[in-house]
């Protein structure tokens, strides 16, 4: 059954409310507690020398056409297409503009059928013209949508890249879910050829296996955000949208801990020896955890819930959060004797 605009907006409001509920979190399951960075008691560094900046290649690394980023930290995709989502995205985009960090936008699914939905991004751009936005569409929608409609999603956000999220568990448990994932690889390959911007495949909290990562090797994508288990679990979120006596509520309890942890997903990428970049998200809550994932091999690290909570409080809270995250990341580098992110990834700093 076709979902009306009012039903869509209610679903998105439900997502925000339930995502902030502790019951929707798989806390302690991201694997980061098992990773320890080795303390360097005598770093041959001045703390002022520590550099956490990085870059993002806009299309082809060979051309060296890139944007500079203040850190590997990015804002993970959260929500879009409703009034509260607009306020959240405007606040997050202003932070991206000020701090020059990447920001994944929420799903642009609604824009595929409602051209008026693109006005949200016009408002965002008026407030944050230099925000580094990454568009976002689900693989199930990509498979079925004309490619020109998908290109308009990139244009409406003035995105420098496009996330394609893969979320089979969420779609299976969502009453309005789209459950046909056939021909996903072919759809990605076709998109890469004509998108004009880098394409990044991301999970939404269930991670990636070695075999799936290998299957993506020849698709031409720029990166995979493994988005593993350990943070907001969208199977749980969708389950809690249903009534306790509903079938989907009961089934969701069975799958409450489904998925591959964030750490294991990054390790799977190393085992798969993929050539594309590996990004990591899923239950990341502080700069030390960002450092651990970078040390494991992640090129970029995303956070969602901490940014969502801060965005609901306003710009000052977002600035405080960003200052905290970047300071924690710098201290982690300093105390492992790492001058920059490359040092962190190449030195033996993990126990």
In the chain, how long is the greatest CA-to-CA distance? Answer: 64
> Confidence band (pLDDT; 50, 70, 90) for 234?
very high
Question: From CA 80, how far away is CA 86, in angstroms rounded?
Answer: 6
Note the pLDDT tens digit of each residue in 171-219: 999 988 999 999 999 999 999 999 999 999 999 999 999 999 999 999 9
Burial (CB < 10 A; 0-12, 13-18, 19+), residue 209, is middle
Burial (CB < 10 A; 0-12, 13-18, 19+), residue 181, is middle
Q: What is the pTM of this model?
A: 0.93
> Confidence band (pLDDT; 50, 70, 90) for 130?
very high
Q: What's the chain's average pLDDT?
A: 93
How many Cα atoms within 13 Å fall on the side-chain side of residue 153? 33
Measure Cα distances from 101 to 63, 226, 304 in Å.
22, 19, 13
* pLDDT at residue 59 is higher than 80: no
* Pairing of the two strands 161-165 and 132-138: parallel
Superfamily designation of domain 69-311: Aldolase class I (3.20.20.70)
* pLDDT at residue 44 is higher than 70: yes
pLDDT score at 85: 79
| Residue 131: both structure tokens together | 């925000």
Q: Which 8-state DSSP code applies to residue 120?
A: H
Which of 275, 280, 247, 249 lies closest to 262 in space, CA to CA?
280
Question: From CA 69, how far away is CA 102, in angstroms rounded?
Answer: 8
Burial (CB < 10 A; 0-12, 13-18, 19+), residue 339, is middle
Question: From CA 77, how far away is CA 119, in angstroms rounded?
Answer: 18
Measure Cα distances from 343 to 43, 101, 211, 296 in Å.
12, 21, 29, 12
- CB-CB contact of 83 with 8 (8 Å): no
Q: Report the b/e string of 232-247 with b at 16+ CB within 10 A.
A: bbbbbbbbbbbeeeee
């Amino acid at each position: 059954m076709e979902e009306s605009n009012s039903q869509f907006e209610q679903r998105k409001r439900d997502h925000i409310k339930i995502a902030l509920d502790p019951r929707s979190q798989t806390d302690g399951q991201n694997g980061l507690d098992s990773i320890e960075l080795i303390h360097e008691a005598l770093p041959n560094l001045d703390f002022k020398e520590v550099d956490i900046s990085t870059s993002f290649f806009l299309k082809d690394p060979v051309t060296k056409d890139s944007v500079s980023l203040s850190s590997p930290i990015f804002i993970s995709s959260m929500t879009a297409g409703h009034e509260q989502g607009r306020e959240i995205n405007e606040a997050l985009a202003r932070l991206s503009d000020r701090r020059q960090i990447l920001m994944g936008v929420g799903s642009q699914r609604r824009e595929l059928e409602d051209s008026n939905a693109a006005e949200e991004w016009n408002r965002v751009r008026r407030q944050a013209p230099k925000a580094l936005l990454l568009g976002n569409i689900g693989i199930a929608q990509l498979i079925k949508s004309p490619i020109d409609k998908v290109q308009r999603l990139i244009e409406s956000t003035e995105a420098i890249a496009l996330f394609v999220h893969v979320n089979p568990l969420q779609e299976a448990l969502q009453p309005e879910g789209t459950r046909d994932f056939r021909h996903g690889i072919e759809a990605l390959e076709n998109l890469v050829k004509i998108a004009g911007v880098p394409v990044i495949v991301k999970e939404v909290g269930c991670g990636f296996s070695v075999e799936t990562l290998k299957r993506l090797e020849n698709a031409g994508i720029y990166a995979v955000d493994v988005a593993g288990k350990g943070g907001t679990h969208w199977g749980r979120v969708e389950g809690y949208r249903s009534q306790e006596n509903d079938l989907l509520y009961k089934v969701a309890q069975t799958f409450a801990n489904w998925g591959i942890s964030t750490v294991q997903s990054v390790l799977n990428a190393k085992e798969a020896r993929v050539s594309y970049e590996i990004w990591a998200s899923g239950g990341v809550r502080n700069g030390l955890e960002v450092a651990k994932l970078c040390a494991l091999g992640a090129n970029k690290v995303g956070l969602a819930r901490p940014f969502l909570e801060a965005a609901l409080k306003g710009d000052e809270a977002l600035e405080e959060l960003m200052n905290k995250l970047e300071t924690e990341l710098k201290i982690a580098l300093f105390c492992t004797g790492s001058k920059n992110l490359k040092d962190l990834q190449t030195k033996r700093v993990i126990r």
